[in-house]
Amino acid sequence: MSQSPRTLSRRFVLRGLGTAVALPLLDVMSPTRLLAATSNGGPPPLRMGFFYVPNGIHMPAWTPQKEGRGFELTPTLQKLAENKDSISVLSGLTLDGARAHGDGGGDHARSVAAFLTGAHPRKTNGADIQNGVSVDQVAAQYVGDRTRFASLELGLEASSQAGNCDSGYSCAYASNMSWRGPTNPMAKETDPRALFDRLFAGQTVKETRRAKSEREKYRKSILDFVSEDAKRLHAHLPIVDRRKLDEYLYSIRDVEKRLDGAEKLGLTEEGVPDYPRPSGVPQELSRHSDLMMDMVALAYQTDSTRILSFMFTNAGSNRAYKEIGVNEGHHELSHHGKSEHKQAEIAKINSFHAERFNYLLSRLKLIREGDGSLLDHCMIVYGSGISDGDRHNHDDLPILLAGGGGGRIRAGQHVRYKNGTPLCNLYLWMMKQMGANADSFGDSNSVLQGLG
């Protein structure tokens, strides 16, 4: 460490063999590295995120009856109770690009392809895919150069770039919601260990391979390679920043331990010894999701990126959720035909997803940044491009906006818009908060009001 903590750069990292560990926002860091910073100091950077759940939602268990700040949490939203003051429920928003417009079936593929683009994707299962540019990638054009990663695309199921996945629509539509260009979907990272390595890997391939080999040989933590640099920095920091650094380094080591645990299958009922798994993806969806949410928190905390998207599963996913007692496929259940049993099972899946999202919000709220929490400096959309899975309708969508937006969002309220209000109006508002100079996006017809 060669810099004085009085002038510590926001881009300062702890270095070791093939490893570069970015730091969280510390009080001693120069404000000139922060978004909208001035000579008198500036606020922490604003983060943007989009989290997608497939197959619609059981709306009676989602939509609050009351509007404003006095709304009551519905059964599904009850999973977010501890973060109620940090979420806004937005009813009445519509995704017109996901409608058929003469193209027949394929609502699932269209719902995710249009979710961040607002475009109507060309119906094809060949190479001639055509969509719009997604809002996250537009925002990345404005702020992506301020971080190591312009954006991150994440999920729990891998992306596909070819094949027929929904009534003649390419799998590229059904499994990707981030689009760099009309023909360029952004594939997701689904392996938490691979993502961890991306966030904390060394500066060259050769160094990274050597460091990885050393860690595997001696079972060392990433932090073991930067410990000397961390000690030198720690000794010169004020007490408050020492505490922040300690908490951050603890969270990294904790994630590492759980990643190591995720690579073991454990003893079978017959007592067969465990053995290494071929990847870092846990079998249990809840553990997989929580590890990925840990990665999201670390990516935001270190300012490695300010923009990311996350798909819980791909559009039309027929995954069964046996760990919560749902043995039937999600897609099949979504075609409930008003069956009380199927709707109850869908509500269980919806609650499971909401609980996993709540885990992330709670992590972000615990991380202190500036005069508040990391969650205070985020604006994160959670929802689906389909409302009722049985009707395949794309109006009155289940949409949440989480975080304080750096003081721009009056969270803790239910806002009901006129049914048919474009979802892209919300995106246009978000883009402007990120500094994007745009007058329209997708099918927007104005900037969404009522958020501040």
Strands (E), 62-122: 87-94
pLDDT tens, position by position, 283-311 = 899 999 999 999 999 999 989 999 999 99
Residue 26 domain-assigned? yes
Residue 102 domain-assigned? yes
Residue 195 domain-assigned? no
How do 13-16 and 19-22 pair as beta strands?
Answer: antiparallel
Structural domain of residue 211, as residue ranges? 1-42+202-280
Residue 96's φ and ψ, nearest 5 degrees, are -65, -35
pLDDT for position 148: 87
pLDDT for position 404: 98
Question: Which of the two residues, 219 and 129, has the higher pLDDT score?
Answer: 129
Tell whether 167 and 260 lie within a shared domain. Answer: no
**Tokens of residue 11, six digits:** 């881009």
289 neighbors 134 (Cβ within 8 angstroms):
no
Tell whether 30 and 67 lie within a shared domain. Answer: no
Exposed/middle/buried for residue 102 (C-beta within 10 Å: 0-12, 13-18, 19+): exposed
Exposed/middle/buried for residue 434 (C-beta within 10 Å: 0-12, 13-18, 19+): buried
Q: Of 219, 253, 280, which closes a domain? A: 280
pLDDT for position 398: 98
89 neighbors 103 (Cβ within 8 angstroms):
no
pLDDT for position 274: 38
Tell whether 225 and 94 lie within a shared domain. Answer: no
Q: Which amino acid is at 352?
A: F
Tell whether 451 and 307 lie within a shared domain. Answer: yes
Q: How confident is the model at residue 32 (pLDDT cuts 50, 70, 90)?
A: very low
Angle at 212 between CA 216 and CA 146, to 5 degrees: 145
**Tokens of residue 323, six digits:** 């760990």
pLDDT for position 238: 78
Residue 197 domain-assigned? no
Q: Of 227, 255, 280, which closes a domain? A: 280
310 neighbors 291 (Cβ within 8 angstroms):
no
**Percent of residues, the chain, with pLDDT higher than 90:** 66
Q: Helix, strand, coil % (nearest 5) of the chain?
A: 40, 15, 45
Alpha-carbon radius of gyration of the chain: 22
pLDDT tens, position by position, 384-419 = 999 999 999 999 999 999 999 999 999 999 999 999
**Tokens of residue 324, six digits:** 């919560």
Exposed/middle/buried for residue 167 (C-beta within 10 Å: 0-12, 13-18, 19+): middle
Select from 48, 3, 49, 54 the least CA-distant residue to 26: 3
Q: Of 261, 280, 299, which closes a domain? A: 280
pLDDT for position 206: 46
How many domains would you assign to the chain? 2
**Element holding 372 (H helix, E strand):** strand 372-373
Q: Is residue 224 pLDDT above 80, yes or no?
A: no
**Averaged pLDDT score across all residues of the chain:** 85
Question: Which of the two residues, 426 and 232, has the higher pLDDT score?
Answer: 426
Residue showing tokens 């938490």: 192
Start-to-end Cα distance in the chain: 42
Tell whether 120 and 236 lie within a shared domain. Answer: no
Tell whether 71 and 214 lie within a shared domain. Answer: no
Average pLDDT, integer, range 117-144: 96
Tell me which range, 194-203, 246-255, 345-354, is most confidently predicted by mean pLDDT.
345-354
Tell whether 256 and 353 lie within a shared domain. Answer: no
Cα–Cα distance for residue pair 171/175, rounded to 1 Å = 6
Q: Is residue 230 pLDDT above 90, yes or no?
A: no
**Tokens of residue 405, six digits:** 């937006």
Give, as one character, the DSSP assignment of residue 309: E
Q: How confident is the model at residue 277 (pLDDT cuts 50, 70, 90)?
A: very low
pLDDT for position 294: 92
pLDDT tens, position by position, 146-177 = 998 999 999 999 998 888 999 999 999 999 99
Q: Is residue 278 pLDDT above 70, yes or no?
A: no
Tell whether 271 and 404 lie within a shared domain. Answer: no
Question: Which of the two residues, 402 and 10, has the higher pLDDT score?
Answer: 402
Residue 430 domain-assigned? yes
Cα–Cα distance for residue pair 339/351, rounded to 1 Å = 18
Q: What is the DSSP string of 311-363?
A: ESS-TT----BGGGTB-S-HHHHHS-TT-HHHHHHHHHHHHHHHHHHHHHHHH
Weakest mean pLDDT among 19-33, 50-64, 334-348: 19-33
Residue 93 domain-assigned? yes
Tell whether 171 and 315 lie within a shared domain. Answer: yes
Give, as one character, the DSSP assignment of residue 395: S
Tell whether 145 and 164 lie within a shared domain. Answer: yes
Give pTM, 2 decimals. Answer: 0.82
Question: Which of the two residues, 201 and 417, has the higher pLDDT score?
Answer: 417
55 neighbors 334 (Cβ within 8 angstroms):
yes
Residue 427 domain-assigned? yes
Exposed/middle/buried for residue 419 (C-beta within 10 Å: 0-12, 13-18, 19+): exposed
Tell whether 174 and 241 lie within a shared domain. Answer: no
- Which CATH number covers residue 88? 3.40.720
Select from 175, 172, 178, 176 the least CA-distant residue to 149: 178
Residue 316 neighbours by CB under 8 Å, 6+ apart: 54, 55, 108, 109, 165, 166, 174, 331
pLDDT for position 234: 72
Tell whether 174 and 272 lie within a shared domain. Answer: no
Residue 260 domain-assigned? yes
Q: How many CB atoms lie within 10 A of CB 193?
A: 18
